[in-house]
A and B are shown apart, each in its own frame.
Chain A
């Protein structure tokens, strides 16, 4: 911003009482002129913009920045949750590297992210392509696919827990109908994470379907018509038109699903309801282990150190994604 233009009148005019400066109507006129000069269009626009983002900024400051500071600072203390504080420096951070359970939970998280992100991408895009077709009751289909997303995750977890139960669960009963052996989907360490992933994808795919659908609708139909005239196959149209033009949407989906997978925003509820991190820690994601350390073991400082580290990893992933794609503007890379 630039200062309003200054006038020399204030220094040169002498009033009748001998004092310097401007009085009366002249002064008023000068103030108005100054005000007009100050409230330029661009300045007004800037102030309006700041005012628009102010509520959100205050919210972010109070509910995100301050808790992040809290988490970061608590990581340097031993905090027992009953008022006991002790500065321990980097001990909590050092402990993480020797904590077998934390390292295992990181491995579980990596597996979870590596399967969930592509799973959501493929299922979301697949559904979007499906419900873009001209089929009867298309609105109903779209609603049905989206419906799980509006239900509470706790309810989803409880329903699937019953459906996946050993032998008598709906899924196992269906398997038996087609003469396949029933499995303990939530009780077998080799299957439990897969079951959680399946439910998570089932829950979220409708949401990503909507995102992809909006991206698909942005692609001009003329491109497909031209390709069809040129004799392009459906696969060629998908790979040469759809995927390239969906890049910004794909970037958004990959970024959001990665962040939500690492932070466990959906997984935590499902793990808490369906497996409690078991069997044998096979579904104990990093966020669940952090929760255990904080609320079951009362190691708030250690939990905060782990949470801070996870946030740093998450930020690194996000920055790397942004840098690699120039913020999703793939055509500029």
Chain B
């Protein structure tokens, strides 16, 4: 860029001094500078600065805020984890909290990456894996892991975090979905444990009995987005259907299993057994809904145990596996978040080392960290065999819902699918249309399938799982 010298600037003569510039030249050069600045600013938001200097502090974005009760114990786990790393490493890690809504549905992470300022370390769920993997911002963590540690993670949990045998994310938890019910509501309706529904028909029948006054019999997520599709997938799988074919190149969505799953959710609304909207943070917020008495049964993940433990201690509840359709097979879905490192950040290697040190090493601290998260800070099934055994030995799964999740529900689980946003949007639209608009499930499945096929025809990213 041309250097501009302003000699004799104290004088009112802008032009005549030798070596200075005329007013016209100044305007011209100023205009050029402004134009260059404007053009570069136009494109810089979408330019990744690959040559950013290595930093001594790594940023770590996540959504577990310090606070009271449940939030505090979970936030503390992150704080302790980072403190332990910082005490023994030269390159420090700094936690940054992003509000949950903003993290999952907002634009903060996306705009940060778009401007080349993405965090060094962050957490993602399988639902968002392909967006970041296909964007080339995930570091291959495999070279930093011991062979033993790689084998220590359960294959069905890792399936959606691996591309070409390379590991791109290390899960800190496994979160299967199930049904929670209010013991009080069951008792009021004259029901007992023996009445716990095993099939969809039984479930609708029990929900009918539990629907009374302002209380709904059951609750399924209704807010559009990838959490809703996440909670709906197991019902589709129970009937033997899937989003795409095995090779991930064609849609398999338009099938009998899909249609019956759409119809099942539709019936809960049609028969006024489930609310169309609800309290708190949505369908995954068990305290605000089941805990408040808005519904008597709620489709929720294993995190509901710690949420109720921390925020509704006296609430009596039970858990049962997801009911199945006629001739269906028991299926749940295994959600959960994973640590990932930014390949386009200034220090991808150090970031990867942190992820592996925290969750993917055979070191005792690394294993105990997962144990602490899964049975103390939160309520989850461990993604690693060693940590699961250790957590069990420490009494984390001895009884009640935790035992049921570990022994009965998690073994029927399949990893949360990794699909591009365009695919889950098509699935989400099919669910929304049939569930809340009363549209024909067969037709919505067909339309979604066409959209998925249309997208997959030009898709060149990592395979869907």
Binding site for B on A (CB under 8 A): 66, 69-70, 73-74, 79-85, 101, 161-162, 164-168, 184, 186-189, 272, 275-282, 291-292, 294-298, 300
- In the complex where A66-B41, A83-B46, A280-B432 touch, is A300 in contact with B277 (Cβ < 8 A)? no
Chain A residues, CB < 8 A from B216: 166-167
Across the A-B interface, how many residue pairs have beta carbons closer than 8 Å?
A: 118
Chain A residues, CB < 8 A from B43: 70
The 3 closest A-B pairs by CB, nearest first: A187-B276, A82-B135, A83-B48
Docked complex Cα distance between A279 and B278 (Å): 13
B214–A167 touching, CB < 8 Å: yes
Docked complex Cα distance between A294 and B105 (Å): 12
Most buried by B among A82, A85, A277: A82
16 contacts between A and B (CB under 8 A): A73-B42, A80-B135, A81-B113, A81-B114, A165-B279, A184-B277, A187-B275, A187-B436, A276-B223, A277-B224, A279-B222, A279-B276, A279-B436, A282-B437, A292-B425, A296-B110
B437–A295 touching, CB < 8 Å: no
- In the complex where A74-B46, A276-B105 touch, is A296 in contact with B275 (Cβ < 8 A)? no
Chain A residues, CB < 8 A from B20: none
Chain A residues, CB < 8 A from B276: 166, 184, 186-188, 279
Q: Verify if B111 is at the interface (C-beta below 8 Å from A).
A: yes
Query: Mask for B89-107, Cβ within 8 A of A = 1, else 0?
Result: 0000000000000000111
Number of interface residues of B (CB under 8 A): 45
Q: Does more than half of chain A's interface fall in helix, strand or loop, or is it mixed? A: loop
Return the chain B residue nearest A188 by Cβ.
B276
B135–A278 touching, CB < 8 Å: no
Binding site for A on B (CB under 8 A): 38, 41-43, 45-48, 50, 105-107, 110-111, 113-114, 116, 131-132, 134-137, 214, 216, 222-225, 275-279, 294, 344, 421-422, 425, 429, 432-433, 436-437, 439
B114–A278 touching, CB < 8 Å: no
B223–A83 touching, CB < 8 Å: no
Docked complex Cα distance between A189 and B429 (Å): 13
Partner of A278, one of B134, B137, B223: B223
Return the chain A residue nearest B46 by Cβ.
A79
Return the chain B residue nearest A84 by Cβ.
B135
B436–A281 touching, CB < 8 Å: no
Chain A residues, CB < 8 A from B47: 83
Chain A residues, CB < 8 A from B432: 278-281
B277–A166 touching, CB < 8 Å: yes
A166–B110 touching, CB < 8 Å: no
> Distance (Å) between the CB of B99 and the closest chain A CB?
11
Chain A residues, CB < 8 A from B433: 280
